[in-house]
């Protein structure tokens, strides 16, 4: 899809009703009507009023979305903020001056030689930092950087040791790879209940600031047996960051997932699909496999937060459903707002009828140990589709605690492959051996865009946008 002169707006906000992301539709003449005023991030305090639940299990029982989204305090989160070892929520992450651990891990990645030295930071466009990309001067035809936003390239052009190609499809037949971006949504209990009732597990790409604001909701993701991955700290265009900020966006999200949920993620998805070999390499050094998608529901466009009527999103789903039997895609869907969650719930019977297998990426890729923490074991494809869907070793929601002192020890992807775990070591063919990444190529028939935002070759892409905004609590969202 051509992107010349289109507008995309991404607003990540926690409102009184839901933790929502508002995206503006490419080419929408009325896009500016949806721009939202910028509010300051409301810093979490342990004493703030909110739900009476004091653990994940009790929080999961709350039915009222407004009560779910009321501000609540977790002393351990406040402790980390007071210690200056965690970035400000909603703002692009930087390596914290007092964080010696982060500085050491970043130096180790730099010294490893995995990061290509000839891939430039991509040009920004638009009034808000890191919320737009300009590819007008980039040679998309040759695509030396394997820049997905310019070419949908998925196989690195640089062969630095430790780099791996992206995953975007399932090696198993007749399979829908179930993924949801932009969680945890503060009002997701009904949605997660639906997934549990239908014996569904998904791969969830969590935003760091959302985990910061909603730790109990984040804990439910792992307690329910889903697969947890990184979706950056602030949901910006990653190729526009300097390398140390690329690291910070990934590192602080992954470390907070460890501190809140007790697991070390080994996968990530770039917001808008914006990744090149420099960003891939930093992620790989941090132990994170890049996950893209073959099909995109574009559900983020759904009204009322988006500009498209539900019927259009229905058609998007139906288009993917119509390809059942001819492909096994990883599919991009969102936890963004209640409308996107309700849309999946509505369309799932049709998805289930068309695709024999609807599975998380752990099953899709036959990854039975997605984390270094070896007490958690996930079913492979054969077991999952045979009805054994529950991972073993899951934490108990009543006793899960946020641990500021949790030891975060990321393992680079090539070492994961040697050790036989994580997304560095996927398998192909119903639990058999072999790296399934061989199914990923720089071409492919994949959908061109997350949130409708692929960059066409040699075109200037312009994104009039707001900065990502996170409001921890019932802060009014003003529309201009």
Q: What is the DSSP letter of 11?
A: E
Concatenated DSSP letters of 165-222: PPB-B-SSTTEEEEEEEEE--TT-HHHHHHHHHTT---EEEE-HHHHHH-HHHHHHHH
Which of 334, 414, 425, 435 is the catalytic position? 334
Place of tokens 């997934």: 195
Contact 475, 20 (CB under 8 A): no
Which of 143, 166, 181, 296 is the catalytic position? 181
Between the alpha carbon of residue 454 and those of residues 137, 153, 271, 330, the distances in Å are 16, 11, 11, 17
Q: Is 214 a catalytic residue?
A: no
∠ at Cα 308 (356, 211), nearest 5°?
A: 70
Q: Is 334 a catalytic residue?
A: yes
Contact 439, 297 (CB under 8 A): no
Both tokens of residue 266? 């080994």
Angle at which helices 338-354 and 189-197 cross, to 10°? 10
> Dihedrals φ, ψ of 34, to 5°?
-100, 0
Concatenated DSSP letters of 62-115: ---HHHHTS----HHHHHHHHTT-SPPTTS-----TT-HHHHHHHHHHHHHT-S
User: Among candidates 390, 331, 332, which has minimal Cα distance to 176?
Assistant: 331
Helix (H, G, I), strand (E, B) or coil at 324: strand
Place of tokens 């790879």: 177
Active-site amino acid positions:
181, 334
């Amino acid at each position: 899809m051509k992107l010349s002169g289109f507008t995309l707006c991404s607003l990540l906000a926690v409102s009184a009703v839901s933790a929502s992301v508002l995206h503006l539709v490419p080419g929408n003449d009325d896009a500016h009507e949806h721009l939202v005023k910028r509010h300051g991030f409301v810093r979490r305090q342990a004493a703030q009023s909110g739900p009476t639940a004091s653990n994940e299990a009790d929080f999961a029982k709350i039915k009222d979305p407004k009560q779910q989204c009321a501000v609540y305090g977790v002393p351990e989160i406040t402790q980390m903020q007071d210690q200056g070892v965690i970035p400000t929520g909603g703002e692009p992450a930087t390596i914290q001056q007092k964080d010696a651990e982060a500085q050491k891990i970043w130096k180790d990645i730099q010294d490893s030689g995995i990061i290509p030295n000839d891939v430039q930071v991509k040009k920004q466009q638009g009034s808000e930092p890191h919320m737009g990309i300009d590819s007008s001067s980039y040679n998309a035809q040759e695509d030396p950087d394997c820049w997905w936003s310019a070419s949908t390239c998925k196989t690195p052009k640089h062969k630095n040791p430790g780099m791996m190609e992206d995953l975007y499809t399932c090696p198993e037949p007749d399979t829908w790879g179930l993924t949801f971006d932009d969680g945890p949504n503060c009002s997701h209990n009904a949605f997660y209940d639906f997934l549990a009732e239908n014996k569904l597990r998904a791969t969830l790409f969590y935003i760091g600031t959302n985990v910061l604001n909603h730790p109990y909701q984040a804990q439910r993701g792992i307690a329910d047996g889903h697969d947890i991955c990184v979706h950056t700290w602030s949901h910006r265009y990653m190729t526009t960051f300097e390398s140390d900020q690329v690291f910070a966006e990934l590192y602080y999200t992954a470390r907070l997932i460890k501190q809140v949920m007790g697991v070390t993620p080994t996968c990530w998805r770039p917001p808008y699909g914006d990744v090149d070999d420099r960003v891939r390499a930093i992620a790989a050094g941090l132990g994170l496999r890049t996950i893209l998608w073959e099909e995109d529901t574009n559900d983020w466009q759904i009204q009322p937060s988006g500009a498209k009527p539900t019927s259009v999103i229905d058609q998007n789903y139906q288009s993917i459903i119509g390809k059942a039997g001819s492909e096994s895609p990883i599919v991009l869907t969102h936890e963004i707002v209640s409308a996107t969650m309700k849309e999946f719930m509505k369309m799932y019977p049709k998805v289930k009828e068309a695709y024999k297998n609807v599975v998380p990426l752990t099953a899709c890729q036959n990854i039975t140990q997605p984390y270094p923490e070896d007490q958690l074991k996930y079913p492979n494809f054969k077991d999952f589709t045979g009805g054994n869907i529950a991972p073993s070793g899951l934490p108990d929601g009543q006793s899960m605690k946020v641990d500021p002192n949790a030891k975060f020890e990321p393992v680079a992807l090539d070492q994961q492959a040697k050790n036989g775990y994580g997304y560095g070591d996927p398998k192909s063919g119903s639990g058999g051996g072999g790296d399934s990444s061989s199914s990923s190529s720089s071409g492919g028939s994949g959908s061109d865009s997350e949130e409708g935002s692929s960059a066409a070759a040699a075109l200037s892409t312009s994104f009039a946008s707001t900065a990502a905004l996170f409001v921890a609590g019932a802060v009014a969202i003003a529309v201009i």
